A and B are shown apart, each in its own frame.
Chain A
Amino acid sequence: MTASLLLDMRDVSVTFDGFRAINSLSLALRPGEMRAIVGPNGAGKTTMMDIITGKTRPDTGTVRFQGHDLTRLDEPAIARLGIGRKFQKPTVFEALSVTENLLLSLKGVRSPFAVLMARMNAQERERIDHLLRLTRLEAVADQPAGGMSHGQKQWLEIGMLMGQEPELLLVDEPVAGMTDAETMATADLLREINRTRSVVVVEHDMDFVRALGVGVTVLHEGSVLAEGTLDAVSADPRVIEVYLGR
């Protein structure tokens, strides 16, 4: 059964200075699935992402990705396994040009000596051109990323994520601060991406989650409160209690 799962978190707990950020959380994701994670502030959404990507080491529990034990690996190793992460605040390399940003992200050379000797080849050129088109950044390809608008940086980061060719994408609040139109466009993009890759989206915006039309996991105080379709969990009295009954 485990073998058929892409990501399998079991009984994961982590404590910061006595505060239980994650409390025996279990989460399973099939290959090709897209899942939305919702929950109030402090529910442990970002910490969960930190655990999957190796930034935070859990105190107890197991995290498996395609059979690999992620709790024993650090961030670069996990990234190389094929887990990409997009942060809530767009983080691109501001002093580098858009092309250079994308080039660094491309799946391939990672060891420092290989990077030292690497020169861009035709295949890489092609992949970058493809990503530039996809993210509509062709016009600013040679400009420093630091000078771009917020929206352009978001798109560049998504482009970099695509360049990594990950099996699983972790996307943290992708539509925070977006207009309704941009939100819907982003939902379309994520569905597009989901055709070839698995995706976990953390999001507050229920309209956006509805637009994705995927399974929802509700986190509360570091553990799973409910799981199912958006309509099902919305009707769950415990979820209503958490979201409204305060």
Chain B
Amino acid sequence: MNPFSTHAPRSLRGVIWMAVAVVVAASCLAVASLLPEGNLLHASAFVVSLAGKYLSYAMLALAVDLVWGFAGILTLGHAAFFALGGYAMGMYLMREIGARGVYGNADLPDFMIFLSWKSLPWYWWGSEHFIWAAVLVVAVPGLLAGVFGWLAFRSRVSGVYLSIITQALTYALMLAFFQNGLGFGGNNGLTDFKDILGADLHAPHTRAVLLVVTGVLLAASLLAARFVVGGRFGNLLVAVRDAESRTRFLGYRPEQAKLLVWVFSAMIAGVGGALYVTQVGIINPGEFAPANSIESVIWVAVGGRGTLCGAVLGAILVNMGKTLFTAWLPEFWLYGLGLLFICTTLFLPNGLMGLWRHARKPPPEEVTPEVADTQGDEA
């Protein structure tokens, strides 16, 4: 299947460059946002929260790329892990509101009082502690991914089947979170946040710090992802992606390798979701919508599947495009997105990174694509 060299995309230098660039860009923007309003370089609160959103999405893209680009699992439900991380952080932010809500209850969030609940459900216990929220941000998506992946990979669900059931998973979660009875605010989700760790979420300083933190965590995720896919494990993932049954005859258990990267990927997505919530200020069941997951796949495809930098680049570029497009020509955005899907798959199978690599140095020898061999029955 679509063989391409994995040396350049996984190069440590490229990833380090990207990580540094992300941190520097986030820091510059953060500093710019603290400049006085009249200054030429001043960045508005809107731009800062937009940038934070892009970087959070870049983490989701990175997560998708880990499983799709390297392990060949086309996930159509990764936004579920992103949203779960977001909800975990949202719970903490809800509790931080304390008695400043509309109903002025220090223990219960407004929506629970509205539903005339008397006490917090058990799964909200401890949510007033940031540390616990931070644990949940990675543990909940990781746990769900672990259970789902263990079941799916063990029974060798793969290809289109796996894609469809990941979509069903996020769809089921969306329906569940829309219900008031689940205890996560139903339709409206969690919002109206005030503070994080005692700092005012609407203050420019807090926003600047959050942006830098997002940049740093994205850079850290990039490096961690590089560690996972850069060495022998990355080779194993690529081997599993291209010829899964062959790895079994070498004595590997591909389902374990897939599960490991799947859980790791879900955790990165969860962290992305948590950062997203702090900067966008709301998390609602719409984040679980299957369309969101599929959109995150196209970010990766645009940037370059199987290249860590490409995923980050793709997420930022496509979302910038979306922001501009929806501001200028809102009714044409769906045409644009649709064409992006079609054109990327048709003309740009290796994404922008592939294009760039191709332009920089044409491959020494043309790799013969053995398209017809995908049936690959070794029997």
Residues of A within 8 A of B (CB): 46, 50, 53, 55, 74-76, 79-80, 84-85, 87-89, 91-97, 100, 103-105, 109-113, 115-116, 118-120, 143-144, 146-147, 160, 164
Contact = CB atoms under 8 A, between A and B. Distances in A.
B252 A110 contact: yes
A53 B242 contact: no
A75 B249 contact: yes
Given A79-B249, A93-B239, A147 B368 contact: yes
Contacts of B232: 103-104, 109, 115-116, 118-120
A19 to B, nearest CB: 14
Q: Which of B7, B249, B252 has the most CB of A within 10 A?
A: B249
Q: Which of A76, A85, A95 has the most CB of B within 10 A?
A: A95
- Nearest 6 pairs of A and B residues by beta carbon: A79-B251, A146-B3, A75-B248, A94-B3, A93-B239, A116-B233
A80 B7 CA distance: 29
Contact of B367 (A80, A93, A104, A146): A146
B294 to A, nearest CB: 25
A110 B232 CA distance: 11
A109 B4 CA distance: 26
Interface residues of B, number: 38
B246 interface: yes
A93 B238 contact: yes
Contacts of B248: 74-76, 79
B365 A79 contact: no
Contacts of B250: 79, 104-105, 160, 164
Contact of B236 (A87, A115, A119): A115
Q: Which of A110, A111, A116 has the most CB of B within 10 A?
A: A116
Interface in B9-57: none
B378 interface: yes
A93 B242 contact: yes
A112 B238 contact: no
A119 B364 CA distance: 28
Given A79-B250, A144-B3, A160-B250, A116 B260 contact: yes
Given A96-B238, A115-B236, A116-B260, 20 more contacts: A46-B379, A53-B249, A75-B245, A75-B248, A76-B248, A87-B378, A91-B376, A92-B243, A94-B370, A100-B235, A104-B250, A112-B233, A112-B253, A112-B259, A112-B260, A116-B228, A119-B232, A147-B367, A160-B250, A164-B250
B156 to A, nearest CB: 11
Q: Which of B231, B232, B365, B370 has the most CB of A within 10 A?
A: B232
Nearest to A140: B365
B317 interface: no
B368 A146 contact: yes
B378 A115 contact: no
A95 B4 contact: yes
B105 interface: no
A146 B238 CA distance: 13
Interface string B364-375: 111110100000
A112 B257 contact: yes
B6 interface: yes
Interface string B247-283: 1111111001101100000000000000000000000
Contacts of A84: 249
A164 B251 contact: yes
B367 A144 contact: yes
B5 interface: yes
Contacts of A79: 248-251
Contacts of A146: 3, 367-368, 370
Nearest to A115: B233
A53 to B, nearest CB: 6
Q: Which of A92, A93, A104, A109 has the most CB of B within 10 A?
A: A93
